[in-house]
Structure 1
Amino acid sequence: MLEIDGKEGGGQLLRTALSLSLCTGQAFRMEQIRAKRSRPGLMRQHLTAVQAAREVGDALVSGAVPGSMTLQFTPRTVRGGEYRWSIGTAGSTTLVLQTILPALWLAGVSARLHLEGGTHNPLAPSADFLADSFLPLMRRMGLNAQLSIERHGFYPAGGGALTMGIVESTAPAPLHLAARGELLEMSATALMSSIPGRVGERELDVIARRLPIAAEHRHIRQAIGSPGPGNTLMVRVQNAEIVELFTAFGERGVSAERVAELVSSEVSRYLESGAAVGPHLADQLLLPLALAGGGSFSTQTPTAHARSNAALIEKFLPVEIEFEQKGSDQWWVSVTR
């Protein structure tokens, strides 16, 4: 039973532990879960990830109740098939997907996953990010999966729906991304639900001033069937080797111009860094590369999430993850056995 201290981490530490436990068969006990957060312990979105991992891995679980700060998880056999989970809030569906996806991939089984909850909310990768940035790289590593957005769900209403189909896939292969390659195209999309169209126009006006995106690549898109209001501004940077998607979210009290300034600044920093991988995608590449037994990429300054994830991965798997600074905002990340 692997003992893990969850005091310094958030929900991501728990999700990574669940994912690695399913992949390796290693049981774990996590204590002091989210102890330093204003609302410590397990919340609804974390419990949905635990439930999903329990069902997919036929696991024995104790401590999976709201507010619990201790969880014990013992996986048995990873099983494919059809699954449905509802978070019941605007909690992120994509984080639940990423918890169980590696285990289904590694087991070489087919599955169809249906999730309801948030699809576009702060502090989590959006469904568009998974579809445009994350999954294409996973396909290069051997994963055969498709994601479809049936309904958009924004914070705080939620109510979104995603479906992912996974076909039996080959074992993860190493991936190396030293450079992003030639810039092929940049585009911007204001995704709107029950928000005046003028808000999206104001966001795109700022984008036009801050980034070299032509008028024909600036779009306003209406969300599909969202039960509540919401606004997301996305900038897609398509390079020869990788697609990065940068996102900012409209919220009460924050002007449309401010939303556009935030995402524009993030894109500009990425372009100036010369790195292949943005900081958020870098967080999510570590686990697949570790399962593949190797890989490397250039990225911007690593986040605290990336470093804590790396330390936890090294507890479960016989790999070493190194971060080496190459410039003011460029780092080299390598995963080796």
Structure 2
Amino acid sequence: MSEIIEIDGTIGGGSVLRLGIPLAIALGKSLRITNVRQVKERRKGLQVQHLTGLNFLTQLTGSQLLGASIGSPEVYLTPGNTTPPPNFLPKIQVPTSAAVSLIIQIVSNYVFASRKPIGFEFEGGGTHVSYSPNFDVLLQVNKPLFEMFGLKMHIQLVKPGFFPQGGAMGRVYMEPVPLSKTILTSGEIESIDVISSASSSLRAQKVAEKQISGFKSVLKPDRTFAGYADSVNPGYACSGIIKYKSKSFKGVAKVGGQNDSPIDIGKETAKMTKDERDNPASVDEQLADQLILPLAFAPSGSQYTFDKMYEHVDTNLKVIKYLMGDILDLQKENGIFFLTKK
């Protein structure tokens, strides 16, 4: 019987699960995570957004996950070794507006680590919701950066999903591509774009155009994209995308609520974009933690930079060390963190 690795979940929140479980499955290591989401979270233990992705992955790989229930403070993984058949696209039913991007994050972590392709269809869930990358950022920022680190994403969004009902529909297929040494730098900006997405029911109110107007009042973009799509319930979101001539990317997003002004959402997105523009780091806050696992499997010398020791970054670095050892080097110079594959 293989050694059981134990991780105290108090080192972080849901990112311990999103990284630890798929990585352990790919490495064939048994894993126990205790004290799951017991420190800062209002709703303790496992929640829908964790269970949906973890249950899908464990079933697909023939793994067993004990404790996989709402509110559970502890899970125990016995990894399987089942390989999904090529071009197999099972359907995931995502309840309410649980973030689809977090499910993609769980599955992509497994694909990065296992080098095995996985695809799925999703029905339900949110694609433009708070506290997770929205699909505009996912397509314009995560997708090209992930490919640089060895994973190609094919995403077809049929219907977006907004809080509170979700109701999104789409397809995702992820496959490994050849690895090469990758060093992300910032430097000269090639373009700053704003993407304004809204439900078709908000077209008459010109919500998408108002978000762009608000953005432009703070920061002049190179290009603007306003789009409407049918959705289960009304919703809207604004995203700022920075592309560097070095081929790195940054993305920020703001989701509008029922009592928000679309113009104000555009302004806030522009302010966040300006902050990233003025930040010398090569990636934004969300990518700073999401690229840790890809970096762990990248060729030696691969590197990116970020500006703060964010909580999820600290958590993911610890999870990688638990499961893979001391394979990453972290240095700080002139207020910027340099993370390098040894």
Counterpart contact for 2:111–2:117, Cα < 8 Å: yes
Secondary structure class of the residue paired with 2:69: coil
220, 226, 238: which one pairs with 1:233? 238
* Preserved CA contact (<8 Å) 1:119 1:126: yes
Q: 2:291 aligns to what SS in structure 1?
A: helix
Query: Residue by residue, what CA displacement relative to the aligned partner does 1:144-166 show, whole Å, maximum 9, x if unpaired?
Result: 33111111011111111231123
The question of whether the paired residues in 1 share the 8 Å contact of 2:240 and 2:253 is answered with: yes
Paired residues of 2:137 and 2:241 also in contact (CA < 8 A): no
Query: What SS does the corresponding residue of 2:293 show, helix, strand or coil?
Result: helix
Bigger Cα displacement from structure 2, 264-273 vs 5-14: 5-14
The aligned amino acid for 1:183 is I
Q: Deviations over 1:206-257 (max 9, x none)?
A: 211211225xx2232102x311111100112122212322211101333333
For 1:54-203, list aligned pairs within 5 A: 54-81=58-85, 82=88, 83-116=90-123, 117-167=125-175, 169-170=177-178, 172-177=179-184, 179-193=185-199, 194-195=201-202, 196-203=204-211
Q: Is the CA contact 1:56–1:100 (under 8 Å) kept in the aligned structure 2?
A: no
Whole-Å Cα distance in 1 between the matches of residues 239 and 218 of structure 2? 14
Seen in structure 2, the aligned counterparts of structure 1 residues 32 and 209 have a Cα distance that, compared at 3 Å, is same
Could you tell which deviates more after superposition, 139-148 or 66-75?
Answer: 139-148
Note if contact 1:118-1:155 (Cα within 8 Å) is conserved in structure 2: yes
Gaps of 5+ in 2: none
Tell me if the contact between 1:187 and 1:218 (Cα under 8 Å) persists in the aligned partners: yes
Q: SS where residue 220 of structure 2 aligns? A: coil
Instruction: Give aligned-pair identity as a percent.
Output: 23
For residue 4 of structure 1, the aligned residue among 7, 21, 35 is 7
Match of 1:39 in 2: 43
The answer as to 2:285 corresponding to 1:282 is no
Helix, strand or coil at the partner of 2:333 = strand
- Deviation string 1:90-149 (CA, Å, 9 cap, x unpaired) is 111111112122323444434321123111111111122222111212222332331111
User: What TM-score, normalized to structure 1?
Assistant: 0.90
Secondary structure in structure 1 of the residue aligned to 2:106: helix
Q: Is the 8 A contact 1:235 1:246 kept in 2?
A: yes
> What displacement does 1:181 show?
4.2
Aligned residues: 330
Structure 2 counterpart of 1:187, which letter? D
- Is 1:212 equivalent to 2:220 in the alignment? yes
* Distance of 1:70 and 1:173 partners within structure 2: 37
Q: Distance in 1 between matches of 2:320 and 2:305?
A: 19
Please tell me whether residue 20 in structure 1 is matched to residue 23 in structure 2. yes
Tell me if structure 2 keeps the 8 A contact 1:119–1:161.
Answer: no
Distance 1:323 1:155 in 2: 37
Q: Is the 8 A contact 1:319 1:335 kept in 2?
A: no
Q: Which residue of structure 2 aligns with residue 302 of structure 1? A: 309
Q: Residue 289 of structure 1: CA displacement?
A: 0.5
Q: Distance in 1 between matches of 2:111 and 2:331?
A: 32
8 Å CA contact retained: 1:8, 1:34: no
Q: CA deviation at 1:266?
A: 1.5
TM-score normalised over the length of structure 2: 0.89
Q: Confirm whether residue 270 of structure 1 aligns to residue 273 of structure 2.
A: no
CA contact (8 A) 1:290 1:319 kept: no
